[in-house]
């Protein structure tokens, strides 16, 4: 068993009994961000068109039945993205971290 108590992952609670869940217990991998089948962009990188196969579009809302009180509830995720310019000398070869998968 791997225990990492220093890691702080966003979690949510059952609104009925307060049981805590991690997103990975409820959402399928890739469900939150979806998996586009086609993305069309102009020459400057602006997205003109996006298309998803059925069931592959981003899905922020999940219906779930609590493991502890057996009552249903709805989870709506809010995903935001922040970008920062990387310094050119930064070494990308040593570590790769993926938060959403
Ligand atoms: Zn509950």
Whether the CB-CB separation of 17 and 69 falls below 8 Å is answered with yes
Give residue 36's pLDDT: 92
Q: Separation of 70 CA from ligand 1 center, angstroms?
A: 6
pLDDT exceeds cutoff 60 at 3: no
Rg (CA), the chain: 18
Give the distance (Å) from ligand 1 centre to CA of residue 11.
Answer: 14
Q: Report d(CA 26, CA 9) in Å as an integer.
A: 14
pLDDT, position 33: 86
Strand partners, 74: 63
CA 21–ligand 1 middle distance (angstroms): 10
Q: Please state whether the predicted TM-score (pTM) of the whole model is above 0.85.
A: no
Instruction: Please give the distance, rounded to the nearest whole angstrom, from the Cα atom of residue 17 to the centre of ligand 1.
Output: 4
Which two tokens mark 71? 């009552």
Q: Is the pLDDT of residue 70 over 70?
A: yes
For ligand 1, an ion, list residues with CB under 5 A.
14, 16-17, 19, 66, 68-69
Using alpha carbons, select from 9, 23, 11 the residue that is nearest to residue 61.
Answer: 23
Determine the average pLDDT of the residues in 77-93: 81
Predicted pLDDT of residue 95: 64
- On the 0-12 / 13-18 / 19+ scale of CB atoms within 10 A, 57 is middle
State residue 32's pLDDT score: 83
* Residue 7 in this model has a pLDDT that exceeds 90: no
Taking a C-beta distance cutoff of 8 angstroms, is the pair 32, 12 a contact?
no
Lowest mean pLDDT among 7-21, 23-37, 64-78, 85-99: 85-99
Name the residue with tokens 């959402």. Answer: 27
The residue ranges of DSSP E strands in the chain, in sequence order, are 12-13, 20-21, 38-41, 47-51, 61-65, 72-76
Cα 9 to ligand 1 centre (Å) = 20
User: How far is the centre of ligand 1, averaged over its atoms, from the C-alpha of 30 (Å)?
Assistant: 25
């Amino acid at each position: 068993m791997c225990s990492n108590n220093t890691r702080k992952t966003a979690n949510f609670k059952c609104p009925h009994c307060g049981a805590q869940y991690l997103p990975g217990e409820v959402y399928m991998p890739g469900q939150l961000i979806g998996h586009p089948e086609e993305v069309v962009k102009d020459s400057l990188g602006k997205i003109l068109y996006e298309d998803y196969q059925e069931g592959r579009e981003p899905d922020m809302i999940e219906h779930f039945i609590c493991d502890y009180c057996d009552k249903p509830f709805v989870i709506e995720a809010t995903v935001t993205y922040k970008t920062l310019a990387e310094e050119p000398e930064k070494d990308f070869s040593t570590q790769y971290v993926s938060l959403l998968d």
